[in-house]
Amino acid sequence: MIIRIMGEGQLRVDDKAVNELNHLDTVLEKAVEQHDESAFEPALHALLERARELGTELPADAIEPSDLILPREGATIAEVRELLADGGLISG
């Protein structure tokens, strides 16, 4: 699977490893839905850290859509909500 960490680039992650990321993502999603800032920050950080550990960087000239897209490090709940609403304002 191909994963994008926004602001950092894309990673290739083994399909089996994605399960682990999904678990971490569940925690993140809950924090976003409950608007729980104190849970959100560590959840996002844990997810990103693990994704970086599990993934290998895609070459810079690769043009491939990602299967999963992670918010940038340091993103706020508001930012993530915006992403989930319209994927940001820029259109391709």
Partner 1 sequence: MTTDEGKAAFMGVMKRVSTIFRAKANKALDKMEDPRETLDYSYQTQLELLQKVRRGVADVATSRKRLELQLNQVQQQSDKLDRQAREALAAGREDLAREALTRKAGTQAQITDLQTQYASLQGEEEKLTAASQRLQAKVDAFRVKKETIKATYTAAEAQTRINEVFTGISEEMSDVGLSIQRAEDKTEQMKARAGAIDELMASGALTDMVSGPSDDIQAELDRLGAGHGVDAELERMKAELAGGAAPKQIAGSPSPADATDGQPAEHPAAEDAR
Binding footprint of partner 1 on the chain (CB under 8 A): 3-4, 6-9, 21-22, 25-26, 28-29, 32, 47, 59-72, 80, 83-84, 86-92
Comparison of 38 and 90: residue with beta carbon closer to partner 1: 90
Question: H/E element holding 18?
Answer: helix 15-33
Comparison of 9 and 39: residue with beta carbon closer to partner 1: 9
Rounded Cα distance between 40 and 50, Å, is 15
For the bound state, the minimum distance from the C-beta of residue 47 to partner 1, rounded and expressed in Å, comes to 8
- Start-to-end CA span in the chain (Å): 22
Token look-up 């000239």 returns 61
